[in-house]
Each structure stands twice: as C-alpha cells, then as structure tokens.
Chains A and B, each alone.
Chain A
C-alpha cells in the first residue's frame, strides 16, 4: 500500500475536529533518558499523550519504542541495570517519585503484550484475576465484571459457554482478546499495547484493530506497532522513534501525508526499517 491510499483512507475515516486537538494530556514526558547499562536507549524524549486518543509509536527495530512504552508503567525496571533520568508525569504526578507505588500505577495503566500471555487458568479466572487481587470478592460483582470485560473485548459471544475452560485452549487471536479483557476488568485509565497483533493472523489483527477503535471512547491507548498501515488505520497521533529519539510527533494524517522530517518520510515510504 502506498502513502496516497493510506491518506485517503484516513481522510474519509476520521475528520479530526478542533476540540479533539487540544485534549488534556494523560502523560507528559520531559527530558526522559534511559540507559541499559552503558547503552543509551532513550535520549531526551519529550512527548505529550492525549486523553481518549490512540497514540501510535512507530520506528525500526531497536529504536526504543517498546522501551518507552514499558517505561510508562515502569515494567522496564524489571530489566536489571536500567537507569533513567528526567520525568514522566502521569495525570500530573511524576511516576518516578519514590512515594509512587508501581502497583498503584499499574492498576491505572493496563498493558497488552506482544505475545498473548493469558494465565494458565480458566477464562473466567483470567478475567477475575485483576479484580480479585485488588480486593473484589463478591461472586455476583465478579460475574458482572467478567461479562462486561469480555463484551468490551468483543469476545463474549465466542467464549460465554466455555468460561471454565483453560484459556490456552482457544486460538491465539482469542487469547489476545482475553488478555485485553483481562486488562479492561480493572477499568484502567490508559492501555499500553506492545505490538499486540504481531503474533496474530490478519483476521484476528483486524478484530483487534476494530476493538482499539471502540476502546478509545473510554480509554487512552498507546500502541507500539511495526506495521505502518496499522498506525495509519487506527491512531490519532503518531510518534516516529529512531535510535532512541523522537524524530517527529504529530497527528497521524500529517505524519503520513506531509511529514516534516526527511527521515520520517523515508521510513514511512519504506526506504528503510
């Protein structure tokens, strides 16, 4: 697909209105630097991420896009020898503050991973896991949450008769939607998605993309993707990362039709990456 067809698609799909343009930001990143040991993986990142928007992060492998995403819920700290400087404000509070508990942050910011990673439990227990660890025990409330989350992830009809079966018995695409439903179950504010369709077939990919469109009514979504068409199809804003830096960040239609930077243009037109 060339850029021209992508552009027409965007134009017809979604006219961006003025008030959408200055929504409140959920995340403000200021002068973020990150090192893995001596490897300087993120360099002076400044990024504002808007509420109820889909923000896509694109860039070639090793450009730091997944690292940035994992920094937003501090999962990156699971890697030994990670150092950071600068700050990330989530809803006005710096997530690196020592008083900010990671559990609290991750309860507000959900994450969907590259490969579907359901828990080796029944579908029901997968969805109920989050509410349960956060103290919800009432069976009736849990039943409601499970149904609502599965409906929210557009998979209720496919699994409603097999809620007690192991989540590993369903297809990869369904597993990924179970993982999305699991995230929705604690009604987060933001959902981070790390190449959520890279391990899936085209039909499952389409379903997840449609789902993302629906979810942005209620959630702010940040999605890392290798697939530029996907970014063009589903996102409102796109950030282009290269070698740990943000080269360009703008509305998706601008990035894909009229990029300001030569490197962005080269990347989206497929000259490298």
Chain B
C-alpha cells in the first residue's frame, strides 16, 4: 500500500510529581516480584453493567461503568488505557485521577480503530496515555460507556493486558428486561459468582490475580480459551408491552433477512459476464466453478465495515465494478452471478473457527463471516469466494465443522460444513539421491494438495515475478538460503490438480567421511524439530491448519560401501498427531519414509506433554545418522 504520511507525532508528557503512598509502594514491590515482566498492574478493576430505557426514544439502552486503579510496578512507566465505541455506543464520560484524587495529566487520542486487514471500519477507539514516573504511584481511571443498542454489547472479559489483582464484574438486570448470561470457559478459573434477586437481579463475578493476556505465538482465537460472559439481551417490557431484542435465532435471522432484502437488482453488466463465463459449459459443476473461480480471481478483498455495512452486503453491481469487496460483498456477488446462471444460490452466515458458539445462541457475536451456498437437485456446494485458489467442494480450514445459517426466504436452514479428510492435505515429496563428490546430489518431486497448496498460490501471486523462483526454492528446501536447490519446473494454478514442483538437490554438509565410514543425513527439512512448546504456555497451540506430509527418499549405496548402521524407526499416534519415520533397505537401496499428520489444527494444552516428548523423540531420530562402511 502506498501511503502519504504527513506527520509523525511525538507525544510529550508532563511528569507528574507526586508523593508515594508507603502501602502502595509495598504492594508495587510485591507485585513486581509476582509479575516480573509487568510494569503496570491493576490493583482493582470493576465493571458495572446496567440496563435502562432511553425515555426520549423508548429503547432499551445498556451502560458500562468502569473503575480501575492502576499501580506502577516500576519507575518510568507509561500506560495506555483503551476504550472502544462505535455508532451504537458512546463514551459518555471518563476521568483520570491520581491516587490522591487530583486530576492526572494524560494524552488523549481518539479516532477510527485500525485492525488487521480491514481497510475501513467504523469501530472507534479512545486511547488515554499517562506516565507514572515512580514505582508505587497509583492512578484511578473511571469511564462510562452507553450502548444505544444492547445487541452490540455481547461479551465481557476478565483478562486485561496487564495483571489484575481484583477483577469484579457486576451485571444488573431489571425485572422488566430479559437478559441471559452464558458463562464461557470458566473451567480452571476460580471465578466466584453471587446473585442477589429483587427488582433488579444483580450478578456479581469476582476473580483474583488474573494474569496478563498471553502474547504467545500461534494462539487460537481468544474466545476459545479465555473465560468470558456472553450477554444475551433478549427482550424488555416498555409501556406494558414486550419488545423483542434478540430473543432467538429467529430474531437474529429476521434482522439479517431485513438487511439482505434491501439489496438492489441492477445486474445488466453482471449478466453479460455470467453469459461470457458459462458460454459453452455443459455441466452445472463447470458453470458453478467458472463463476466461483472468477470471483476468487478477480475480486480483491478490501473490507469496509461502516455502520450497517458491517452486517449488510455491498450491492453486487458495485462489487462487480469495483473489483473489490469484503466477504459479504463477494458472497453476494457470487450468489447474484449464480442466480443469473439459473442456480439456487443463497447467502449464508458462519462463525469461523475463532468463534466457539453455535446458532442456538442468539447474538451478533455468533458469526463473523458470510459465504454462499448453492443447491443442486442432489447436491449442495458451500462457496467461500474470499478463499482464493480454493477448489469447488473443498472447505477452508477456518469454516470446517462450523455451523452455517443459510437464507431460505423468511425462514432459514442450519447446516454444518463438512470436515475435510486428512488425505486432502497431502504434501508428498519423492527424493532420489546418490553420493557424488562427497555430496548428496539428487532430484525431488513435490505434489502439494489442499490448504497448503492454496496458501502457496496466495504467496506466489503476491510476489513479484522475479521472486517466485526463490520462494519455491525456500518451500522445497525448508531453508531461507536455499541455493542448493534448483527449481526445474512448477505447475501453474489448476484447482483440480496438485501443485507440482520438480527440482534438483545438492546437499553439501549431509555426508561426513571418517576413515572407512560414511555418515549420511538424508533429511534436510526435519519438520517440527524446533517446535517444543514452553512449559509455562497455558493456551492451546494453533498450527493454522491440519497437515499431512509424506517424504519418501531413496539412495543407492555408493559403490564399495555396505550398511553398518541404520537408525531405529520411530512411530507415535494419538488423536492429534501421527509421526511415522523409518529407514529400510530395499533392493540395494536405502528407503527413508517420513509421514507426519497433524489431525487437528489446534493442540490443546492437555496434549502438550505428549507433543514435547514426541519432539524430543523425533529430534533423536533426526539427529541419528546412517553409517556406511567401505568394503574391506
């Protein structure tokens, strides 16, 4: 992206001169020992959620009042408190005070919130930055956020990006409102809950010593493991009549359906393109493929999430002209094109694998993605046009096994996306070596299927033409400086056949000769050898996708040598992974076979022990060498 930037800011701070409370200093020193990596902690963090009627408009509103006491665990620290809002919520007030009650100097920056690959979103943020110059200094933060539409208040978390000594969440539900609380991932956390019933039912949750949010690599979506409360605001009574908010999946779909019903039908240009794409194609499958792949290849993913646009797809003709759109726009264009080609295509909502909820939970938090379902008389295809280079009939990792809500006029259907067989992930390499000039020389042929193939094509097409060769060298060699690999040929994109790469190999340091012995190391990739998980890691490990790799390498014994030693085979198999590695002697050749399967894309914490033992064992296998001995 080309950016013109005008100013780089340098925010300046006034250092707050303040006397330090002895008690706070002692606490800061103790917490510094307990959390040596943290510079700031929250001594207390209290959130109170309340519901009320905005009498001006007669709608249910929700409020969130926050009180946090920050404590500097080190001198010369600064902290940024972030508050989020959007067009359905606003920050009504905030204050920052010293622990002695005086206004506290800070910088304030408010604006649009940039996140991930979203080009533009109406999500807003206010960031308050303050400096605490001395250990033991305390700062009190207070704020009140009001939600004009409580559907947008969906989740409450206990964790923060600093340690929290006392975290309290209070939810006050008046008896005229129906609000359900769903407790997620509470197991393993000592969260104390109490309920006081009355005109207002008060739910209080209390947890102590909440550790900092993990910044471990390869974390799966935090909703999968962090404790949180889902707030389901179902209905309320106003002027003696019941008003539904989101009481059921029917309500959720009704709203979604209202939004998609507003979409226009200007399809002249699109129709022309559909006719061009499907001309001469005889089967339904071919026609669907032509349209699906055209959208994948020609519509760039650029996400606008502005107001209702976060939920309502862009008009198909606009996406078609712009040649860009977000998932909703791309799904709607796909649907429109398929309908023009005479298919029963429908928009479908889905929560990707970052979201653990199913459609029995009526909440805007239940899904985050839109795709398209097309029905044939005896078959149904699920199409995700944002998944570039994905073949028809295969489902991307992130939607496999997930529930899908499919439009069906005023009704809807719920289905589940199939989980792909591990065989569809196969990445197979066949290598042939011989010993020449004290080098292992040979050829390789890799056939890559499935998600990995799709990812590789995404990379290949994001690279400039001159860099593709180097990239493929790195892929087949598993090395960042792969000059010993020479790409001979690779196949262009064909969704129905694997990516095929043929290459020459020259390995300099894989043979060692000592006296009459030759030591051979046939493995130049040694997958997962460094992937030992930290003992203190307490969140699951996300591999990104399932995987299945098979390597078969053969080497003809050099003349005058016989085998003196071959490493023992290694095999391990459980619900999450499978490793099978062995050397065999077949017809005068050594055959090395290595099969690795990651059967789930995420490894739960409970499987870490077995994983680390396996990494130790495969390292022993990798480090062991074949020994050949010269004939006497």
Q: Do A and B bind each other?
A: no
Residues of B near any A CB (own CB < 8 A): none
